[in-house]
Amino acid sequence: MTGIWGIVNVTPDSFSDGGRYVDPERAIAHGIALRAAGATVLDVGGESTRPGAERVDASVEQQRVLPVIEQLAARGIPVSIDTHNASTAVAAVRVGARIVNDVSGGLADPEMFGAIAETSADVAIGHWRGPSFDMYAHAEYRRVSREVAGELRERVSEAAAAGIAPARLIVDPGIGFAKAGVQNWELLRGLDDITALGHRVLIGTSRKRFLAESLDGAAEVDESRRDLATAVTSALAVRYGAWAVRVHDVAATRDALAIAHAWEG
């Protein structure tokens, strides 16, 4: 069964829905609605990773996310914590998170892998070359999918050295993170290099700039069109080996996956 991770941004400044769900009760209600629409996991984040975003203190992040995670987990919903911070990861697991989604792949906080190893949580290791405020300065590749795969392999080795069993690992090639425009398409076309690592693969294209640029050649494309483009890319990613996709609009992606499955018989 393909996983659909529904995004719950408990932030004032995320690039797409920042501010909509900063109130915990609204965030919880949104998560419940995403679950009803077909989300298999809810990915809760309290710090924006949009291009140019600045870091927030871990205490602020935890004030945002922990009440939401606790309430969603209490309803039996599988929850992931989207964080760079080891302290937030551990606190989130204590209140019910089952997965730690670190888009930095343990690079932002050197204590991350050791902290996760002491828990029972799985970990999604993202490909990352630097913080959001200057990540595009690192968007230089000769063969993007092979280089991303190689760098993810290094992060997987670090996780294993910290005591995290291979069965607990998920890899994410980090679409949009230190990758500009066409590089994201090149990475998706080279998804075989990522699946060849032998771990579950998580893909997140949701509402990202490169989708809008491919529709009209500009970033100013409305949310509904970005969601349609997300659903298409998510279905294609699953066709080429993704284990799960991370999206804002769960219903659209659920329907796209159902149609793709029907096509394949």
- For the annotated catalytic residues, the residue numbers are 208, 246
Pairing verdict, β 244-247 and 200-203: parallel
Chain centroid offset of residue 44 CA:
10
* Nearest residue to 127 via CA among 81, 80, 183: 183
For 92-111, b/e burial (b = at least 16 CB within 10 A) is: bbebbbbbbbbbbbbbbbee
Please, what's the b/e burial string for 113-137 (b: 16 or more CB within 10 A of its CB; e: otherwise)?
Answer: bbbbbebebbbbbbbbbbbbeebbe
Which residue from 163, 32, 175, 44 is spatially nearest to 100, judged by alpha carbons? 44
